Amino acid sequence: MKKVMLLAHRGFSGKYPENSPLAFHKAVEETSADGFESDVHITKDGKLIIFHDATVERTSNGTGFIKDHTYEEMLQLDIGSWKSPEFAGQHIWTFDQLLDFCDETNMLLNMELKNYEVFYEGLEQRVIDAISAHKMQDRVFVSSFNHISMQKFKELCPDIKTGLLYDKPYLDIDKYIERSNADNMHPRYMLLQYQPELVDLYHSRGMKVNTWTVNDEENMRDMIHRGVDAIISNHADVLCRVATEE
Ligand code: G3P
Ligand code: CA
């Protein structure tokens, strides 16, 4: 059977605080995932940082939008306690720190540009510069729900692979694919069950199909059976076990 790329969503977020250094370390130590999916924002003073939401309330002890906080303010936040008191003292990583960690551990990285709810001026070029400075163009691929951003990214840097994230059925898929010139499609997994022809359709256009966020065994098996290229899961331990079943 073809090898499916297995990605730990926000690190090993099923067990550890999402997008925390601990979650990335544990994905390496406790699973055999091929890489991570993670999310990047820009602070008020222009630092690229790893975080999921545009605001900090849900996963930290702070309040407000990332865009209104400096890097030093973001670094003070406890991003572990919300998950459990035992994870107190986890602090954000910069994008550079995550790239360094992927380099050290040979992990792949699917970086989601979080420029859908908040517009971050110049995010595409900043991400390209960081990946290029680490010489990780072959190890990192990007995605976004903002397809105009992915089109811009591809125009700025044809060498780094791009992906279109989406969670609703497309009415005119060709239009989006042609405009964006994307390398990969990143559909929510239910959409591949709703429109089973999509995997073959994307493959016939030379694109990879990377699906998310598949957290139960039945749907993991179903996605493998449908021939997707990558599966993103909070439970990378379960995903790795299911993917090695006979
Ligand atoms: O990249 C897949 C997935 O992470 C997209 O949605 O909201 O979990 O970032 P979200
Ligand atoms: Ca994401």
- What are the residue boundaries of the structural domains of the chain, listed by start? 5-243
Beta carbon of 40 within 6 Å of any ligand 1 atom? no
Q: Is 203 a catalytic residue?
A: no
Residue of the nearest CA to atom 7 in ligand 1? 52
Residues with CB under 5 A from ligand 2 (ion): 39, 112
- From first CA to last CA, the distance across the chain in angstroms is 9
Q: Per DSSP, which regions of 27-86 are E strands?
A: 35-42, 48-50
Residues 161 and 142: their CA atoms lie apart, in Å, by 6
Biggest CA pair distance of the chain: 51
pLDDT of residue 246: 65
Joined together, the tokens standing for residue 116 give 């859908």
Residue 145 alpha carbon, nearest atom of ligand 1? 5
Q: Which atom of ligand 1 is nearest to the CA of 112?
A: 1
86-108 pLDDT, tens digit per residue, is 999 999 999 999 999 999 999 99
Beta strands in the chain (DSSP E): 5-9, 35-42, 48-50, 108-113, 140-144, 162-166, 184-187, 208-211, 230-233
> Which CATH code fits 5-243?
3.20.20.190
Least confident of 80-94, 126-140, 172-186: 172-186
Q: Catalytic pick from 41, 52, 69, 147?
A: 52
Ligand nearest to the CA of 187: 1
Ligand 2 centroid–CA 133 distance in Å is 23
213 lines ligand 1 (CB under 6 A): yes
Centre of ligand 1 to C-alpha 135, Å, is: 25
Say if residues 229 and 1 touch (Cβ distance below 8 Å): no
Query: Separation of 152 CA from ligand 2 center, angstroms?
Result: 19
pTM of the predicted structure, to 2 decimals: 0.97
Q: Residue 170 pLDDT more than 90? A: no
Question: Is residue 174 predicted with pLDDT exceeding 90?
Answer: no
pLDDT attached to residue 1 = 63
Identify residue 138 by its one-letter amino acid code. Answer: D
**Strands 140-144 and 108-113, bridge-based pairing:** parallel
